[in-house]
Structure 1
Amino acid sequence: MSSGYVGDSPCSAVSTLQVLSGKWKWLILYHLFQHPSLRFSELMRSIPGITQRVLTKQLRELEDEGIVERTVYPEIPPRVEYAITPYGQSLRPILDLMHAWGIEHLRRKAEREEQGSPP
């Protein structure tokens, strides 16, 4: 009988969180879901506070997982664009749910603060 485990993880949500861990990955995905593709510089401008080094690292990790694809166009200077893969599109409902939950959480938090209750 199968234990329900995949690899060493007792919970498949852990696997999802490991793939998407990183301070900036959800913001990168958010912006890529808004556009068919974005250049590196466009992503940099869209995410204030992220460094070039960190954006490069996070994009490589998302690319390694098959969530983001990198396309290099043979132009001078070279043009590189990033886009969500069809597999990466499967994360859209998760991102939408997290967004909706975050809005509700912030609303509830603001209500508690208005009432003088601890956060």
Structure 2
Amino acid sequence: MTAALGAFAVTTLLAMSVPTTAHGASVPAAHAAECGVRSDGRLYCGNKVGAKGYADRSYRSATRGQLNGTFSWFVCWGHGDPHPGQNDIWYWTQLDNGAWGNVPAVDVNTGQDPAPGLREC
């Protein structure tokens, strides 16, 4: 293998293994497994790739965008329509396109809903 091809392979593997935040910035792999409220009051947690954010806390409302990465932050939670996660909790965040939306808890990797320590909105 040539040096250039080897460097390309290493760079590609590293890029594929580093998760990103809701805004596309990379986060250390150790943070990808983390799910909790930090000192800034936000919940930082893993999420389903492609999770959609809705205008209201309902699948019937308009889709505002999605989360393309696997790790995001959420500013608060609220009750809404029930979803397949067996509850009615939705999390409010800024989506990857810059719009704000409600993400159903079923798409956020919390241990319990609502996430302990996160404020209600």
TM-score normalised to structure 1 length:
0.27
**Looking at both structures, which has the greater relative contact order when contacts are Cα pairs under 8 Å and sequence separation is at least 6?**
2
TM-score normalised to structure 2 length:
0.27
More strand by share: 2
More helix by share: 1
